[in-house]
């Protein structure tokens, strides 16, 4: 039986630095837990543009379709700001999502107890926070037609179309309900059914899917109220299901409840392949951070946690995912901090690789 396959796309900026740390973690699981992966590496984003003139080469896209999971670092940077929209680094990421049909984006917002003081909210509101936002990723206003900028009555007009089919809403809803069944059996669906027909359809379809998951407590909320409630009392939520645009906004809002973007992973899941595994791509929420690139200051935890999500959702290694997450929690509880997490004189400041050293030591201690 062949080893599961993993395509690594470090991308740009600190993406390359944090991905090098993930490779060390992957090697640890191979050496200490006999979890072997067939790992390949390629280019995406600005790095791909520099070599191929496009943000994602066709050969790389073909590889992504064949492997069990893709792990991506980050894309973009000021060097590419003046490129034509069609070849900007971010277009490589969007192409991966679209052509792999990764329709369910899982964005956990988890606040480790040791980092509760880093949130802009009171510690008692966020300590122990564990929310999962499921964002529909391949439709909605980011992809709807017509779109573009045109002249109308001698004036420029920008057009984007919010469009959803019931099938697109339903498959994301099923992914969200399945997750809710494995967690606290509580799901809140967010839309704008009060002013948008797509929101009315969204609410109707989610309600229909709920009939297949009667154990799950379903609630509906307008997305603007949802944003307010995330800031007012975030622990009222467990799983949130919402559309592409609102999911983009709400998940970034939830991310900052935890105190640092350097802590947050994500998973994008699609339809099952022949081997039964869903097509999947995992990536940290943070960007390429050109201001700290090459300085050993990047926090690798979000990317390492993205690999933990891959262990859980693509490779059926839930226990090993928990082992890795627990090691990270122990390191943070011990006061080990990269620069984005430094709090007081009791913290131990470490570099990017130093954080991984501490995580690997905690993994060793878990054996």
Q: Please give the C-alpha separations between residue 245 and each of 75, 162, 192, 241, 315, in angstroms, as whole numbers.
A: 20, 9, 11, 12, 29
Task: Report the C-alpha gap between 364 and 358 in whole angstroms.
Answer: 10
Sign (positive/negative) of CA torsion 258, 264, 267, 268? positive
Task: Report the C-alpha gap between 129 and 139 in whole angstroms.
Answer: 29
Phi first, then psi: give them for residue 155, nearest 5 degrees.
Answer: -140, 140
Q: Find, among 21, 10, 155, 154, the residue nearest to 72 by Cα.
A: 10
Q: Find, among 173, 169, 272, 166, the residue nearest to 213 by Cα.
A: 173
Q: Assess whether 313 carries a catalytic annotation.
A: no
Q: Which residue is catalytic, options 98, 130, 142, 297?
A: 142
Q: Please give the C-alpha separations between residue 89 and each of 158, 266, 285, 307, 367, in angstroms, as whole numbers.
A: 22, 19, 16, 22, 41
Say if residues 14 and 293 touch (Cβ distance below 8 Å). Answer: yes
Q: Which residue is catalytic, options 88, 192, 279, 330?
A: 192
Answer whether the bond into residue 327 is a cis peptide, omega within 30°: no
**What tokens does 283 get?**
């990536």
Q: Assess whether 224 carries a catalytic annotation.
A: yes
The H-assigned helical ranges of 122-214 are 123-126, 166-182, 197-210
Q: Assess whether 117 carries a catalytic annotation.
A: no
Q: Find, among 280, 238, 236, the residue nearest to 104 by Cα.
A: 280
Q: Which residue is catalytic, options 248, 279, 313, 340?
A: 248
Task: Report the C-alpha gap between 5 and 15 in whole angstroms.
Answer: 20
Say if residues 276 and 226 touch (Cβ distance below 8 Å). Answer: no
Q: Assess whether 204 carries a catalytic annotation.
A: no
Q: Assess whether 316 carries a catalytic annotation.
A: no
Please name the residue that has the structure tokens 């993994």. Answer: 363
Q: Which residue is catalytic, options 252, 297, 334, 357?
A: 252
Say if residues 126 and 234 touch (Cβ distance below 8 Å). Answer: yes
Q: How many CA atoms lie within 13 A of 338 on its CB side?
A: 25
Residues carrying an active site annotation: 142, 192, 224, 248, 252
């Amino acid at each position: 039986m062949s080893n599961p396959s993993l395509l690594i796309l470090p991308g740009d900026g600190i993406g390359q630095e944090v991905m090098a740390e993930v490779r060390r973690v992957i090697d640890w699981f191979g050496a200490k837990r006999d979890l072997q992966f067939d790992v390949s590496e390629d280019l995406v984003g600005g790095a791909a543009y520099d070599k191929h003139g496009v943000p994602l080469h066709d050969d790389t896209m073909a590889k992504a379709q064949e492997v069990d999971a893709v792990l991506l670092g980050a894309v973009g940077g000021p060097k590419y700001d003046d490129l034509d929209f069609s070849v900007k680094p971010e277009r490589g990421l969007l192409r991966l999502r679209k052509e792999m049909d990764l329709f369910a984006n899982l964005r956990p917002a988890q606040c480790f107890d040791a980092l509760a003081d880093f949130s802009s909210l009171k510690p008692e509101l966020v300590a122990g926070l564990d929310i999962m936002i499921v964002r529909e990723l391949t439709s909605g206003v980011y992809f709807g037609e017509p779109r573009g900028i045109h002249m109308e009555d001698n004036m420029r007009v920008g057009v984007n179309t919010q469009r959803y089919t019931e099938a697109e809403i339903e498959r994301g809803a099923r992914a969200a309900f399945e997750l809710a069944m494995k967690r606290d059996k509580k799901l809140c669906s967010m839309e704008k059914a009060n002013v948008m027909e797509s929101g009315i359809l969204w609410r109707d379809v989610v309600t229909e899917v709920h009939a297949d998951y009667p154990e799950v407590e379903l609630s509906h909320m307008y997305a603007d109220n949802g944003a307010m409630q995330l800031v007012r009392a975030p622990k009222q939520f467990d799983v949130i299901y919402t559309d592409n645009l609102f999911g983009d906004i709400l998940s970034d809002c939830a991310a900052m409840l935890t105190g640092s973007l350097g802590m947050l992973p994500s998973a994008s899941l699609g339809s099952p392949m022949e081997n039964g595994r869903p097509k999947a791509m995992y990536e940290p929420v943070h960007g390429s951070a050109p201001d700290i690139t090459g300085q050993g200051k990047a926090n690798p935890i979000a990317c390492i946690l993205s690999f933990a999500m891959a262990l859980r959702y693509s490779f059926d290694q839930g226990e090993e995912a928990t082992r890795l997450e627990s090691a990270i929690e122990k390191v943070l509880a011990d006061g080990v901090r990269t620069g984005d997490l430094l709090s007081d004189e009791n913290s131990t400041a470490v570099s990017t690789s130093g954080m991984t050293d501490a995580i690997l030591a905690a993994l060793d201690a878990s054996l």
